[in-house]
Amino acid sequence: MRKQSLRILVPVVLLAATTAAGAMEDTFRGFYAGVGVGGSFLSGRESVDQSASSASLLTRAQKTLGNSSQRGLTKNSVAGNLFLGYGSTWDPLYLGIEASVTGTRARTKNRDTQNLQLVPLLTSTTTSTLVTNTQTRLRPWDLGLDLRPGVLLRPETLLYGRVGVAWNKLSVRSTQTYNDQVSQVGTTSFNLPALSQTTRKHKNNTSLRLGAGLEQEICENLVIRGDYVHIWDRKARLSSTASQQVTAVPPGGDTITMTASNSVRSRKVGSNTVMLGVSYYWQ
């Protein structure tokens, strides 16, 4: 009787153990979806060239001012994402594909000011101020599509990398203001009407995505993950020129032509994103 019981019990135990092991190995197999939250760290380079000039119609006097500047772009912001994917395992190897949408608030603002004083124009002197404000920003959300190759460290632990593409829009906005203050001898100073222009440029970018992460099963079908993603260079460029003619009074009734131009180039705009997320696997 005992031998017969053992003959029945042993296969049952082996079958249960095999089933349990198979279930553990299948933790990361199938469709999954999840959400994440973390931080995004934007970096890049920006160059600004600005110039302006005023010319007198009567005296042919002319003055010009301008400058060039280069600087780094940095911006840190909170980020969140939604993702959906499918994975399969060949113990201990893993391969998956994942689509995601990530939201951030990545934008930078800068200001360039150039002053030129006591330049003869007409029978007076003028004080000129040229100001260029620039803003570089990414669209509040981007799309990603990645392959996720990985290895099972344990049946419930997955170490993976990711390689794919990201789609986003990089926007550059420039607002330029050029102002002349005319000082007549023996009279009160007055300002000529300011010359102002705003220019925007948008560029859609397809960029390389690279990253890595770790997933850990915490209960049946529920997994937590730590994820890092780097998005490669994005770039955009704009240029603009504006001019106007104004009459300088008092005195003389002279006509002054004011011209302002600028060029803004944003390049090597990349981002690093770190996320903590949770996902559910359908098996």
Q: Residue 246: what pLDDT?
A: 60
Q: Residue 189: what pLDDT?
A: 63
CA distance 270 to 75: 11
pLDDT tens readout for residues 58-107 = 666 677 777 777 777 778 888 999 999 999 999 899 999 999 999 887 66
Q: Which residue has the higher pLDDT, 196 or 16?
A: 196
Q: What is the pTM of this model?
A: 0.71
Residue pair 98/83 in contact (Cβ under 8 Å)? The answer is yes
Q: Which helix (H) or strand (E) holds 138?
A: strand 124-138
* pLDDT(194) > 80: no
Q: Which residue has the higher pLDDT, 133 or 111?
A: 133
Measured between its terminal Cα atoms, the distance across the chain in Å is 40
Question: What count of Cα atoms within 13 Å lies in the side-chain half-sphere of residue 21?
Answer: 7
Q: Residue 22: what pLDDT?
A: 44
60: left (phi over 0), alpha (psi -120 to 50) or beta: left
Residue pair 209/230 in contact (Cβ under 8 Å)? The answer is yes
Q: SS3 of 128, please?
A: strand
Q: Residue 65: what pLDDT?
A: 72
Residue pair 222/193 in contact (Cβ under 8 Å)? The answer is no
pLDDT tens readout for residues 134-176 = 877 777 788 999 999 999 999 999 999 999 999 888 878 788 7
Q: Which helix (H) or strand (E) holds 176?
A: strand 157-183
Q: Residue 12: what pLDDT?
A: 39
